[in-house]
Amino acid sequence: MRSPQAISGDAILSSVPQVDHSTPLAAELASDFRRRLELEHAEFPLPDQTRVFTVANQKGGVGKTTTSVNIAAALAQTGATVLVVDNDPQGNTSTALNVAHHVGTASTYDVLINDLPMSQAIQRHEEIENLLVLPATIDLSGAEIELVMREDRESRLRTALAEYLRDRSRNGERRLDYVFIDCPPSLGLLTINAFVAAEEVLIPIQTEYYALEGLSQLLSNIELIRNHLNPALHVSTILLTMYDGRTNLSVQVAEEVREHFAEQTLETVIPRSIRVSEAPGHGQTVMTYDSRSSGALAYLKAAQEISNRGKQKGN
């Protein structure tokens, strides 16, 4: 039986006018309002096992960090326990999640190079409960070269993460539901470590010119990793970012991506939104900075799709 609250939610929903495309602003407001009501009653099923995602695209500035932090925040806000690993020397994830990452802070570098247990470097997000962050400092820029010398150079992150998950279980702490590893815009050893540590790859694609350029190289690298180092690795999720429905270009790029990757591409697209780009400057995710903005609602909807897909696959 449905709760009275759900019924009244449906009633309100059906009273919202259908989208009127003749006035873009009104259309956006109505569509945001509908989405907000829908999401208020939405379920975010938790996975049966920890799902580990590598967020990768060697193209720079396509929304890897924005996607990592906002999907992670959305899932944590809706009840999941989530770890974000900042695996990029730029440290943008650490900035957006407002955790200390000055030189000298225990970080991904220490985990990869100095065998520091992850638990000694992970910080808690100050606002969102259940959101954990492994920060990156600028030291990480040297890690690519230092890793070359190591025999287990490709699997150090996987080993460290597996130990951390085991420790949590031994200590009676809640199992992590999701791990998101935010990668630098390159296909070097840091990204390879992320591919070896994860099962799922999330590729953000900016709906712009050249969006698909370089994608075949990314996919063939993933294939190589799958054949030699991590048979479980697969591209489970593609997310279209910085979408502008008013331009033919965005629409065309989105169509082309869906043609090639029908199964992997989320229905939800992330609109280009000023609130999304402003949030990191305030040390916030858009989920906390402006939870009613179209960018936050889109990330919440995308997070719901990710959590539903995990349930369907029996993850």
Ligand X SMILES: Nc1ncnc2c1ncn2[C@@H]1O[C@H](COP(=O)(O)OP(=O)(O)OP(=O)(O)O)[C@@H](O)[C@H]1O
Rounded distance between C-alpha atoms, residue 254 and residue 213, angstroms? 14
Q: Is the distance from CB of 28 to CB of 175 less than 8 angstroms?
A: no
Nearer Cβ to ligand X (65/123):
65
Sorted by sequence, the CB contacts under 8 Å of residue 295 that are 6+ apart come out as 70, 270, 271, 273, 275, 276, 286
| Nearest residue relative to Mg ion (C-beta) | 65
For Mg ion, the closer CB: 65 or 304: 65
Min dist. Cβ of residue 189 to Mg ion (A): 17
* Nearest distance in Å: CB 161, ligand X: 21
State the nearest-atom distance from the C-beta of 159 to Mg ion, in Å: 24
H or E, element range at 93: helix 92-96
Site for Mg ion in 39-68 (CB under 5 A): 64-65
Q: Does 92 bind Mg ion (CB under 5 A)?
A: yes
Residues near ligand X (CB under 6 A) are: 60-66, 88, 90, 92, 185, 241-242, 270, 272-273, 276-277, 280, 295
Q: Which does 284 bind (CB under 5 to 8 A by kind): ligand X, Mg ion, none?
A: none
Tokens coding 165: 């998950």
- For tokens 């992330």, name the residue: 270
98 close to 126: Cβ distance less than 8 angstroms? yes
Q: How far apart are CA 73 and CA 132, in angstroms?
A: 10
Each residue 210-229 as x (binds Mg ion by CB under 5 A) or -, in order, gives --------------------
Which amino acid, one-letter code, is at 179? V
Check binding of 168 to Mg ion (CB under 5 A).
Answer: no
Site size toward Mg ion, by CB under 5 A: 3
State which residue, 87 or 268, has the beta carbon closest to Mg ion.
87
CA distance 235 to 258: 14
Measured between its terminal Cα atoms, the distance across the chain in Å is 28
User: Residue 29 CB, nearest distance to ligand X (Å)?
Assistant: 18
What is the Cα Rg of the chain in Å?
A: 20
Q: Using the minimum distance from each CB to ligand X, give the nearer residue, 47 or 63.
A: 63
In whole angstroms, how close is the CB of 278 to Mg ion at the nearest point?
A: 17
CB of 242 to ligand X, least distance (A): 5
Binding site for Mg ion (CB under 5 A): 64-65, 92
